[in-house]
Structure formats: C-alpha cells, structure tokens
Amino acid sequence: MSAVPTRSSAPARPEPRPGVLAIDAYVPGKSHAPGVAKVHKLSSNETPLGPSEKAMAAFAEAGRKLEAYPDGAAHVLREAIGRAYGLDPDRIICGNGSDELLSLAAHTYVGPGDEVVYSEHGFLVYRIAALAAGGTPVVAKETNLTADVDALLATVTPRTRLLYLANPNNPTGTYLPFEEVRRLHAGLPPNVLLVLDAAYSEYVRRNDYETGLELALTSENVLMTRTFSKIHGLAALRIGWAVGPAHVIDALNRVRGPFNINAAALLAGAAAIADAAHVEKAVAHNERWLPWITAEIEKLGLTVTPSVGNFVLIHFDDTPGRTAKEADAFLLKRGLVLRAVSSYGLPNALRMTVGSEEANHLVVAALKDFLQGDAP
C-alpha cells in the first residue's frame, strides 16, 4: 500500500493531474469590434444565411416544455440523421457539438502513456482532447499546408491509440482525396481509432472527395464526426453527430454524459437536416463567393491557400505595414472581424469566413486600402 501523505508533505491545495496545465485553453475567434457601429463577424466560419426557418420553428416549439428533461438517447435527432443519410440510428451518436464527440473519443480510447496523432495545422481541439485524456499529442508535418499520409503514418508507434484527420482541414481549407484517406486507414494498426472530422464536408465540390461515411460503416476502427454548426447554421445550439462501428458507438455512449443535448437542439437539428433546400441554398452561396473572394484577394498580391470549405486562409508577410497582425487591426477598425491563426502555427495568416455579399466586398476593399497604406 502507498503511504498516506502527511500534512506537511501534502499539497496546500488541489492539484490538477499531470498534463492538464500543459493545455492551452481554446480561444475562439473575436466577435466584436469596439467603437464600430456595424460588425461583420467572419472569424468563426458561421453561415451568413442563418438557420433554416423550419429549424427556428422547431426551436420555438421546444420552449413550450422547458420543465421536461430532453431525450437522453436523442432518438428524434438520430432518426432524422438516419433518414437523411440512409443510416441505422443505432450506429449514430450525438453530442454537444462535434467538439464533445472528438473529446469523447480521446477519453474513451486514450490514457497515460498513449499517443494521439494529428497533422501540423489541425484543429486545436485535438491537442486539448489528447492532453485532457492523459495522452501525448504527436504532430505530423504537413506538405503545402495539407495533411501528408506518409508523415502521419511515420509518427504511428505501438503507443498510438487514436489519429485525428480533419478533412477538409480547418484553418487551411485543404483536403485529402479519398484514395489518400483509404491509404492512411490501410496503413494503420487495427487497434488505432481513425477519427475523420468532416465538419466542412457539405461545402466540398470535388469529385475525388468523400466524407468517410463508407469507411465508418465498413471498418472496425473508423469514426466519422459531423456538425450542425456550419452549413446548418445552428452553432448556438451546439449539435454534433458521429457514425462508426457498433462497438465504438457503444463505448462512447458509456462515457457520454446523460442529457448531453438540450431539447431545443434536438428538435431544431432534426428539422434542419430535413430541410435540403436550405442546405442547397447555402452551398450555392458558397460556390458563388468562395472563388470570387480568392480571385479578388489574389489580385491584390496576397496569397490565398486554395480552399474547399466556407473560408479562406490569407497569407501576409513580415514587411512592416503588411503583416497579418497589422492587417487584422486595420480590418477590425472597419468592423471586419477575421481570425488570427498564430495559435495554429500560422502567424502570418488570417482566416476569413465566406460572408454575405456586403461583407465580402468590404473585406476586399479594406485589404486594398491596407496594402496601399491608407488610413483605416
């Protein structure tokens, strides 16, 4: 038996377990521009179209029964997702945003001494989830701001338990063709869980892209996660879902907290996923403005990473008066809120969400003025 700490040797206050204080807390994109009358928030990849009218009606209806607990098994939402994608609802788990599901995967399959792999500029939650579970984050280098299958596989060791792949990736907007995803999966040991984060998949219009749904349905070690926060416009309600092997879904449900999704989110999410017309409208808006933003910003002499999501990564340089930090401050004074991505290892870049027609034009005009040295 281990010795009981004496009063003199015991810590003077509760201490977090090892690894917790190594976590850099997630900092979301800014949402305010002090002193500006009208703000265009383009920092969090929210849809400029807002949610479906049907989703808003369902949300309002939920307000009539606030005294009742929500359905802890999320039946209505899982069944709606199942109908939309032809899935068995028993293979689906829902969460408080896909963030919760990404973290649940780590808490379920990772412990002290285990390793979690992800790409160099991957979503910040991956590192947080790994450390919070007591694991060790392992970063694989990217090639041209794109996940590199060979680099990812080279980092896998006997201690690896989980590998996260955002496809498309945030904040770069790049993606892996599905043959590369299959090659990654084929190269992994069968005891490593491959988590395919497909938060931006609805926006992708490439013939060589797939979400990973088929792999999740036919493999024993693949989990695909999705979100309602982006194209469905329900970020405020925090709804995510995942599909995977029955044994993985069962394990995640054992760790998942009860009533993890509120009643309004369940009803609004079910209505949103059934509203195909609203999704098509959002896709059409993105298809129109994503290439326009890219082309117009490149005309200014700036580099834009080719994106398949609903955002672009704009690169600046170290020249005084032309840095990303200075551009961010300039834009903020005009009420244009973009996302600084230095925490992703990209200190000379800003991420811009595809916004409304007005917002998109304002950003391009403001960047032109910034590069010309005009006053904000």
What pLDDT does residue 20 have? 84
Ranges 62-66, 197-201, 299-303, 360-364: which has the least confidence: 62-66
Distance CA 243, CA 226 (A): 9
The token pair that represents 140 in the structure block:
């694989």
pLDDT band at 341 (very low <50, low <70, confident <90, very high): very high
Q: Please determine, for residue 27, whether its predicted confidence score (pLDDT) is greater than 80.
A: no
What does the CA dihedral 143, 149, 154, 156 come to, rounded to 10 degrees? 130
Q: What is the pLDDT of residues 119-159, one digit of tens each?
A: 999 999 999 999 999 999 999 999 999 999 999 999 999 99
Q: What is the pLDDT of residues 77-110, one digit of tens each?
A: 999 999 999 999 999 999 999 999 999 999 999 9
pLDDT band at 354 (very low <50, low <70, confident <90, very high): very high
Q: Please determine, for residue 8, whether its predicted confidence score (pLDDT) is greater than 70.
A: no
Considering the domain 53-274 in this protein, what is its CATH number? 3.40.640.10
Q: Average of pLDDT values for 305-312?
A: 98
Q: Exposed, middle or buried by CB within 10 Å (0-12, 13-18, 19+), for 90?
A: exposed
Q: What is the pLDDT of residues 171-207, one digit of tens each?
A: 999 999 999 999 999 999 999 999 999 999 999 999 9
Q: Average of pLDDT values for 353-364?
A: 98
What pLDDT does residue 320 have? 87
**Which residues partner with 115 through β-bridges?**
136, 160
What pLDDT does residue 129 have? 96
What pLDDT does residue 9 have? 74
Q: Average of pLDDT values for 22-47?
A: 83
Q: Which stretch of DSSP H or E encloses residue 124?
A: helix 124-132
Which of 29 and 163 is assigned the larger pLDDT? Answer: 163
CATH of 27-49+277-372, one of 3.50.50.60, 3.40.140.10, 3.90.1150.10, 3.40.50.300: 3.90.1150.10
What pLDDT does residue 7 have? 62
Could you tell me which of 21, 23, 46 has the C-alpha nearest to residue 231? 46
Q: Please determine, for residue 41, whether its predicted confidence score (pLDDT) is greater than 60.
A: yes
The domain locations on the chain are: 27-49+277-372, 53-274
Could you tell me which of 245, 173, 262, 232 has the C-alpha nearest to residue 46? 232
What pLDDT does residue 128 have? 96
Q: Exposed, middle or buried by CB within 10 Å (0-12, 13-18, 19+), for 219?
A: middle
Average pLDDT, the chain: 95
What pLDDT does residue 33 have? 74
Q: What is the pLDDT of residues 65-74, one digit of tens each?
A: 999 999 999 9
Distance CA 175, CA 12 (A): 49
What pLDDT does residue 233 have? 98
Helices 53-62 and 276-299 meet at what angle, rounded to 10?
A: 120
What pLDDT does residue 148 have? 98
Q: Please determine, for residue 235, whether its predicted confidence score (pLDDT) is greater than 70.
A: yes
Q: Average of pLDDT values for 332-340?
A: 96
What pLDDT does residue 2 have? 56
Q: What is the pLDDT of residues 264-273, one digit of tens each?
A: 999 999 999 9
Express as a percent the part of the chain with pLDDT over 90: 88
pLDDT band at 210 (very low <50, low <70, confident <90, very high): very high
What pLDDT does residue 3 have? 61
